[in-house]
Chains A and B, each alone.
Chain A
Amino acid sequence: MTALALALVIPWAAGIVLALLDGRRRLVGWLAVAVLAANLAALVVLAAQVLPEGTVEATTGNWPAGVGITLRADALGVLFAVLSSLALLAATVHEVLDGVRERVFPGIVVLLAAGLSGVFLTGDVFDFYVFFELAMTAAYILATYGGTRRELGAALVFTTVNLLGTFVFLLAVAGLYHVTGTLDMAQAAARVADVDPNAAILIAVGFFAAFSVKLGLFPFHFWLPTVYTGARPAVAAILSGGLANIGAYGLLRFGGELLPGELALASTTLIVIGCASIVYGGVLAVSRRTSTEMLAYSAIGQVGYVLVAVGVGGQVGFAAAILYSVVNALNKTLLFLTVEMRGAIVGGVFALGAFSVAGVPPAAGFVGKLELFRAAVDSPAVLALFFLGSALSFIYVFQIYQFDFWRGERTGTLSTWSQQSLIAVVAFVVLALGVWPEPLLALSHDAAEVLAGSAG
């Protein structure tokens, strides 16, 4: 309960203060890092409470239950919150070591952390929208970071498309409230079974479109390559490792928990869209020669796996989707941070990230792929597509590895040792999760149980 409140209040209050300070000063940057670390610590403490004992709930402002807004931390929410917080922390340390270029950067990242923690820890649909918009607004400003034509053009596309996505989400929230008469997620999930199927399907489509835009799934992906290649590495890492988690979490929470019937109905459609995403992202990534472009298209392909797993559904499917979202977010954080670096261990770290994307042991990606294969074991066509997608990802990551490191096309100054040791730490996390996957596996199964439990 205290940890739950602290996880929200620390970044929120500190973000407002930091936004007023000049972020280009080193001290302010490190202050932001300290706040993010405190946020991560609060979330880890919260996770330590939630995992053995079950859901932690609190109602804001001492209102009676059912009147006030509920904050709810369950295994699924806590897992995603810790993951996003970790990605934000790594990216911010990386940028602070490099030297922050704009005064708002540290404050905005901390506010983004507040928004993300809120999104993952709320039990109220409208509250979800408010935190969602808080995180997105911070992200719109982050996308302009750098301030040249390239970033501004990318930020314009990012902002317009995602605003449209959030308003579609809001329309779906209004619909959900009208048909269920409640904003509480648990109550809505209980009542949604009695709703007129036509209305429920429309609402489900609204949520799906909103979260697909966020994830950058195949027919909604058009904004993604521009933004990820235009943004600075740290920002791209924050967007793909932190912010994109909202999409995966939203699909799981709103699809798996709130609208399970509609999700089961759309199962085939989701699998088809997911497969299209995998093939499209994979084929286009193979045709790219720079690491940022390759990673941007790879991001489209990798979220396809998550969608297929969500479409397969059931506890095995959800567990695979959760596990793969975690692994994918870590991979993307790691690889985006390395794109402009040069140095003794950068090649090794990139290779480890590449192994993880391709799903080769001992990196964490192997465990993710294994769970995906387990989830899709019933349909040979999907299995074949997974195999094709993995082969494509193996080609595109190692093609870039050859260009950048063997042929030495990567130019620029040598990165400092502090930055190199940072990416080494992130790489170590990816490696550790691959070598000793039991905790993460157990966690993702716990989180999937939350969804399956409420659905059944």
Chain B
Amino acid sequence: MKLAFALTAATLFGTGAYLLLRHDLVRVVLGVTLISQAAVLTLIASGLTRGAAPIYPLTERVVSDPLSQGMALTAIVIGLAVTALLLVLVLRVVEAFESREIDDVAADEAERGVALEQRHGREHQDEEAAAR
């Protein structure tokens, strides 16, 4: 059982990491979601006991660890909230850049960097000229 949990969580994390590195922003969001699911699954798997549902009155001796399930529930809710936030952020980026490729966002950043370098280069040359 542990191995099954471990393999599933690893597959989820791996797939998520792959998607996270894609160019399409929506895939990046999906990647983050999958990684959050890997974390949730690990939380469930980290339970110390396995048995009947921990609902009072207890009918069986061994019940599943309720704490790890509580943590998983909290993590799911937080995961939902941050996914929604990330989707809105991507929507705003898509509107601002009119593209959903991460390359376009990076190109914009690079352009700004180049412009700044050039300005500083020119200033430096002016200074050199003034010094001469």
Contacts and interface: CB of A to CB of B under 8 A. Distances in A.
Interface of A: 126, 130, 133, 137, 140-141, 144, 147-150, 152-153, 155-156, 159-160, 163-164, 167, 170-171, 173-175, 177-178, 181, 183, 226, 289-290
A226 B48 CA distance: 43
A164 B82 contact: no
B68 interface: yes
Interface string B3-41: 000000000000000001000010010001001101100
Contacts of A149: 96-97, 108
A153 B89 contact: no
B45 A174 contact: yes
A126 B74 contact: yes
A164 B35 contact: yes
Nearest to A130: B74
Contacts of A174: 39, 42-43, 45-46, 68, 71
B58 to A, nearest CB: 16
A164 B20 contact: yes
A171 B38 CA distance: 8
A291 to B, nearest CB: 13
A175 B93 contact: no
Contacts of B90: 156
B85 A181 contact: no
A167 B38 CA distance: 9
Given A163-B86, A177-B46, 20 more contacts: A133-B78, A147-B92, A149-B97, A152-B97, A153-B105, A156-B89, A159-B85, A160-B20, A163-B32, A163-B35, A164-B32, A167-B38, A167-B39, A171-B42, A173-B71, A177-B71, A178-B46, A181-B48, A289-B123, A290-B116
Interface residues of B, number: 36
A70 to B, nearest CB: 14
Interface of B: 20, 25, 28, 32, 35-36, 38-39, 42-43, 45-46, 48, 67-68, 71, 74-75, 78, 81-82, 85-86, 89-90, 92-93, 96-97, 105, 108-109, 112, 116, 120, 123
Contacts of B123: 289
How would you classify the secondary structure of chain A's contact residues: helix, strand, loop or mixed?
helix
Top-7 shortest CB links A-B: A178-B46, A174-B46, A170-B39, A174-B42, A153-B105, A174-B43, A167-B39
B96 A167 contact: no
A181 B47 CA distance: 9
B99 to A, nearest CB: 11
Nearest to B105: A153
13 contacts: A137-B85, A140-B82, A140-B89, A148-B96, A152-B89, A156-B89, A156-B90, A159-B86, A163-B32, A167-B38, A174-B39, A177-B43, A289-B120
